[in-house]
A and B are shown apart, each in its own frame.
Chain A
Amino acid sequence: MTKVHLSGVRKSFGSFTAIEHLELTIESGEFVVLLGPSGCGKTTMLRMIAGLEEPSAGSILLDGADVSNTPVQERNVGMVFQRAALFPHMTVEKNILFGLSVRGRPRGEMREKLEEMLEIVQLHDFRHRFPAQLSGGQMQRVAIARTLITEPSVLMMDEPLAGLDTKLRATMRRFIRDVQKRLRLTTIFVTHDQAEAMELADRIAVIFDGRLAQYAPPDLLYKRPSCMAVADFMGVSNIFPGTLVAKNRVESAFGQLRVDEQPRCPLGATVSLMLRAEAIDLHEHKEDTRFQAIEGRIVERDFLGASVVYTLECGATRIAVSEPSRRLLDVGRTVWLDIAPESVWLLSH
């Protein structure tokens, strides 16, 4: 259980600045996901915390102690690489024991901990196999066990699930989350997959171009993105221009909408109106609407199994609405859109 603090960290490679003055605190036992498009600097951040890169400026603190100049071997952090990086010439057992063996720990202790790790990652039957004889998921589990056995103060993972298929990724996510909760390990996980980030994280740090764009719990990030870039990256489907005409009213392409009070935006400000596709209710009759009634015509229907996504035409604009697929509305039909004031999020310019 270690608190990680990055204070004013900057990293440049020659004339290229990978990380720009970064302030980030990860509480002990917290699961933080660094999320951003590839090349945004998230891997560099991880490598700096691990000690594989040196920050050009600023410092890295583990539990308040500056480790910026501590060599990687002495930081006692754990790192799981994208392609597992298992040593191909060692069996599963030897791979897992590597960290203890280089520290010269006694044999008895190594045996004991090995059994414990094999139990956690459920790889008893594979202990004498070589990495080439394992599946992708098993390899990542070995990599995780190899890291956990050294009892790292911080567990870092750099897109560990990138090479796995969808179903296995889901299983591995649950596995990682379970292990993290059980051991109450401070964990930093890097990914460019926002769904993965939301499932795993206590807090998500969104990184764009070496800058921290937003640092918030998944639900907040999803509902209240701090800027257009974050909204876009989190996959917001409906963004419209609007003007704040009253404290709780906004003028938009489909008339005036009631919104929650927006203390951050001055009256008359031009704003972007963000509507989550699943936060809009569709009603067949106008009388059923509770907040506002906007007329729309269904022009497209995409059936996705559990949910169905409609594209509606409201006047000159198009809007996406998603709802559970319990009922299916026909294309061409006119319906009423109902939007709760609290589910409208405004971004000021």
Chain B
Amino acid sequence: MTPVLRCAGLTRSFGALRAVAGVDLTIAPGARHALIGPNGAGKSTLFKLVTGTMQADEGRVELAGRDVTGLSEVRRCRMGMSQTLQHSSLFGSMTAAETVELAVQRHNASRISPVRSTRPATRERAEALLADVGLGGRGGVLVPALSHGERKQLEVALALACRPRLLLLDEPAAGMSPAESSRLVELLAGLPSEITVLFVEHDLDLVFSLADAVTVLHLGQVLLSGTPDEVRASEAVREAYLGTGRRSELFGPAAETSGGSDVPAGS
């Protein structure tokens, strides 16, 4: 089967710092693939290279077997790559519904008319998407009036409105309450298998409850790629996160029972 996403030798430097250094990454169709790693591991840069926001110095990116390395972010999005950003970045003058309509109208069959206004079908689909992410009935609220968690939910609705083949989520649960974050897990787990998900997340509880594959990034390189169990058992991963800390601090039962315990990533 052709992987949905394949990165080979992806490299990007900022001056002397090699933020991403020769990363190979293969995402199988239908996967719920997590990308983890301590702060500064290069996760966000890798994300930008994949989405096309930033061009790679070396290496290639393939989307469903097609080389998209030289293509713009816009083209990649049109080919089925859709993303949410780490810091929610939306439209200050619009309501939640208008925001989603903007994405829906771009990715349905009809073209963007310079004459006609929003079609009822667009409106209905936007409403359905809002309901899917738990924002049903909040469509008329202006984006700045939404709570942080609601904005993150709106980001997901916006990404889904692009009818993605590959959904890229950059810290989707950051700043969410435990209830909001479990609702998000439910939503992501319930996505059809045609949508492959690659997500960056610091909350390891969320990672292990959702992911069926995990890639650990450390200092710009892939430390380990494998199943969640392999990652849990890895000594190298533990060291990367905690230096020479104790294993129980990271994956111990205490961490697993207390909901929403973030990894001490900054340490």
Partners in one complex: no
